Amino acid sequence: MEADGILEGFSSSINMHGLKYNKLIGDGDRSVTKKLNEVLPYGSNFQIKKIECKNHLLRNYGTKLTALTKQTKYSIVIRKFITSNILRFRSDITKSIDYHTNTDVPIHNKVEALRRDISNSIYHRLGQHSNCAKYFCSGSKNGEPNLVPQAEATGIMTDMRNIVYRLTINADSLIENVDNNPCEQFNSIINKHIGAKRINFTQGHNYQTRVKAAVVAYNSKNYIRAVHKKIMTKSPGKFGKRYIKNIERIRNKTISRRRKLFDEGHKRTKPKSKFSGPDVDYGLAEPLDNYNQFSYLAASPDGVIDENAIVEIKCPYAAKDSLSAVKRFKIKCYSTAE
């Protein structure tokens, strides 16, 4: 929907304003730019450039630095320093943007100079000023520690360079020094009046009415249902009644528990299973005979023949071709009889 709306605005710009828009300020969403480049509302020879919103880039930069301080594998000294100077990391970028925006040099020189300052900003803030430009800082201050070697040793410097890299590749957008705040403010006003994302508490005593309703609901314990029935001229539905009944049950149970002088508590009983008894068919159905006379026989024979013989089956894989060995009496076979 957003992409279609912007496309319609670009397509109607010539008829409505006599203008062609060659730049679009966005917040990182590429779907709108993709839609414009596919349709090409001004023809194939007119390309629309995407400009990243400065506020979104810097907010993302601060968020990633803050998340980096939560990783306990890095030095606590470096993480605390980043946390206490998180706004200064951002202000280093904004001051460099303001400086290069007002310089009287070609745009590509501005972008390259800004890119160098952005890459050096983390070193500058950590106390290493060997690559700082004169307009950027005046050198080391008295008693200022250089935390760069410690950050390099612990590995956090690599992650910081990766975070700041996204700003360097968007230096051509940052040099424009623009944001989409007007659109955000206009959208906020629309949402306030239509109630899409927030409620307008500034008109018709709305705020005071809601505060009074909250007081009555807290004191009467049944105000929501009464108001619903008064306005809608009918009782709440099944799920509404179930919710109110559940809330009332929890409240009454809590009150009764708090009023007890001594609460002995209760032990939670486990439900008994219907299938917890022993197996009636477990084990052998018939008792075994005692064949201790022949020690070479197994304790549990594989079969019983009549009353005077048993069968023991041994089928190792190595004996699959042992018939000739039996005939040469290399393998002995035992037999017993009364």
| Cα angle value 84/90/94 (rounded, 5°) | 150
φ, ψ (nearest 5 deg) of residue 185: -65, -40
Q: What is the pLDDT of residues 127-145, one digit of tens each?
A: 999 888 888 888 888 888 8
Question: Which residues on neighbouring strands pair with residue 304, listed in sequence order?
Answer: 310
Cβ within 8 Å of residue 22, ≥6 positions away = 46, 47, 48, 49
Residue 197, pLDDT score: 63
Residue 328, pLDDT score: 63
Residue 183, pLDDT score: 81
Beta-strand runs (E) in 5-129? 23-26, 49-52
In whole angstroms, what is the distance from residue 276 CA to residue 318 CA? Answer: 45
**Cβ(26)–Cβ(52) below 8 Å:** yes
Residue 302, pLDDT score: 65
**Cβ(58)–Cβ(64) below 8 Å:** no
pTM: 0.57
| Cα angle value 160/161/165 (rounded, 5°) | 120
Residue 96, pLDDT score: 93
Residue 331, pLDDT score: 58
**Cβ(90)–Cβ(66) below 8 Å:** no
Read off the amino acid at residue 132: C
pLDDT-flagged residues of the chain (< 50): 337-338
Residue 338, pLDDT score: 47
In whole angstroms, what is the distance from residue 291 CA to residue 300 CA? Answer: 10
Residue 274, pLDDT score: 59
**Cβ(334)–Cβ(310) below 8 Å:** no
Give the DSSP per-residue string, 205-217: THHHHHHHHHHHH
